[in-house]
Amino acid sequence: MKNIKAIIFDAYGTLFDVNSAAEKCKEKIGDKWEAFSNYWRTTQLEYTWLRSLMKRHKDFWKITEDSLNKSMKVFNVDPNMKGELLDLYKILSPYPEVKETLYKLKENNYKLAILSNGTLSLLDHLVSNNNLENIFDDIFSIEEVGVFKPDSKVYDIPVKKYKIQKNEIIFLSSNTWDVSGGGNYGFNSIWVNRNNNIFDELDCKPIKEIKNLNFLNDFL
């Protein structure tokens, strides 16, 4: 694509595997670990949307803890595991192709950034723990505007920072609602469809669907 000046990534589920925390505890949790992890993630996202609608903002880390509390009750997971699971969430593993793809993009002089629901301290720790701190030009958190995605004020953050046009940004997310939110705002939104899902029936579709980030270099 021509005239692209910045490539911006969602973090959770796009760069970092949100199931990796529970997976590392699967021997303790048992066969239900994946269903438990998916429920935790779904509840976490629901809480962000509901709190945005109610205008009752809590930061993402508190919401992560709240959604874990409910998920552990639903799946009858030992409550003594709470601290371990939260600690592991702070150091989620990146998907296998992430580091190589990011380094290639960096070599091609694209401005690279993260735009996430996570708090800045949580994202900084996640990036540095995975030795990616020298890759990103910026890490943007929704805490700058106090409302979660897909509110348009979130997508406005990098546009204001870089003083560029919306259509000069590629935005990548594995979350269909986030892809639609970014696309509706005016980004060139790309869906990272890691799990062969069906796109939601929302007004704005992605300009491109890719299986993982390896396919991004071919597209550019």
Structure tokens at 182: 């970014």
- Every domain of the chain with CATH number 1.10.150.240 lies at 20-89
**Cα separation values, 76 from 30, 36, 39, 52, Å:** 11, 10, 13, 29
Which residue in this structure is represented by tokens 């979130």?
154
CA–CA distance, 63 with 77 (Å, rounded to integer): 18
CATH class of 20-89: mainly alpha
pTM of the prediction? 0.95
Instruction: Give the span between the Cα atoms of 68 and 37, in whole angstroms.
Output: 9
Decide: 151 and 52 in contact? Cβ < 8 Å: yes
Helix (H) or strand (E) holding 17: none
Q: What is the CATH number of domain 6-17+94-219?
A: 3.40.50.1000
Q: What's the confidence (pLDDT) of residue 6?
A: 96
- Angle value at C-alpha 118, between 113 and 121, nearest 5 degrees: 85
Q: Cα 111 vs. chain centroid, distance in angstroms?
A: 18
| pLDDT at res. 219 | 73
Task: Please name the residues in contact with 211: beta carbons below 8 A apart, sequence gap of 6 or more.
Answer: 192, 193, 194
Q: Which parts of 58-187 fold into alpha helices (H)? A: 60-74, 82-89, 98-107, 120-129, 152-162, 176-185
Single out the residue of 117, 2, 213 nearest to residue 126, CA to CA: 117
User: Residues of CATH 3.40.50.1000 domain(s) within the chain?
Assistant: 6-17+94-219
Query: pLDDT tens string for the chain (220 positions)?
Result: 778 999 999 999 999 999 999 999 999 999 999 999 999 999 999 999 999 999 999 999 999 999 999 999 999 999 999 999 999 999 999 999 999 999 999 998 899 999 999 999 999 999 999 999 999 999 999 999 999 999 999 999 999 999 999 999 999 999 999 999 999 999 999 999 999 999 999 989 999 999 999 998 777 7
CB-based contact 93:19 (threshold 8 Å): no
The answer to whether residues 119 and 60 touch, using CB atoms and an 8 Å cutoff, is yes
Instruction: Find the catalytic residue in 10, 17, 59, 178.
Output: 10
Is 10 catalytic? The answer is yes
